[in-house]
Amino acid sequence: MAQAKSMAAILEFLSKAELLKQGAEARVYRSNFLGRPTIVKERFRKQYRHPLLDEKLTHRRTVQEVRSVLRCRRAGISVPVVYFVDYTSHSIFLEEIEGSSTVRDHIASAPRSASCEGLEPLAERVGQVLAKMHDEDVIHGDLTTSNMLLRCGPEDGESELFLIDFGLSYISALPEDKGVDLYVLEKAFLSTHPNTEALFERLLKSYAVSSKKSAAVIKKLDEVRLRGRKRSMVG
């Protein structure tokens, strides 16, 4: 009974909110919650999945996302604040990072637009942030340039880099898992932004310098790269 009531309340709230986008995982809304600009991430039911599978997956991902975000926050990594979680509608209420845009958009529009951050310093910054996250043993699981937000600071101030979308994340200390995490980013990076190999190298160098356990991770990354399917294992 209580479940149905809270579900209805959330849906009522969302019906008045502004739908920002429908990602692969969830609908993202913008609204106001307890006086603060809020993003609501609603993992709606995927009709193509069997209901039992859908429920298990959706619940697991909601829980994983919230746990990882909190863990990152405690480690000092910039992530949105979690205001509220509802497990009936699988909705997460998060701080809205106002005035930001995705790293993907920044890279895609450079050098035509005057971005607040040049591409190379941006790549270095991403490397640093990921190093910090991995040192915390958080594996993001879905690293892409669409899952990183850049908020430009005041005129000559520091811009802030946020990580979002921790639905596929988990905790692991294994260099293999961190290497795969970087590999997922590398593939997403290079397929979305063609001809940016040098930029990604910059990112990796910055990661290697910033992380205390990077040597093993980079070694694993090299191994995983060779493992790609239908790829000649020579050289």
Q: Which residues bind other proteins (CB under 8 A)?
A: 22-24, 46-50, 52-53, 56-57, 141-144, 146, 168, 180, 184, 187-188, 191-192, 194-195, 227-233
* Residue pointed to by tokens 């879905």: 142
CB 208 within 8 A of CB 200: no
Q: Is the Cα torsion angle 219, 222, 228, 231 positive or negative in sign? A: negative
- Exactly one of 54, 105, 142, 222 is catalytic; name it: 142
C-beta of 86 vs 142, nearer to other proteins: 142
Instruction: State in angstroms the smallest separation of the CB of 142 from other proteins.
Output: 5
Q: Which of 40, 64, 69, 80 is nearest to 161 (CA)?
A: 80
Instruction: State in angstroms the smallest separation of the CB of 144 from other proteins.
Output: 6
Instruction: State in angstroms the smallest separation of the CB of 112 from other proteins.
Output: 17
d(CA 139, CA 121): 23
Is 142 catalytic? The answer is: yes
C-beta of 116 vs 167, nearer to other proteins: 167
Q: Hey, what are 33's tokens?
A: 């919650």
C-beta of 49 vs 219, nearer to other proteins: 49
Amino acid at 7: M
Catalytic residues: 142
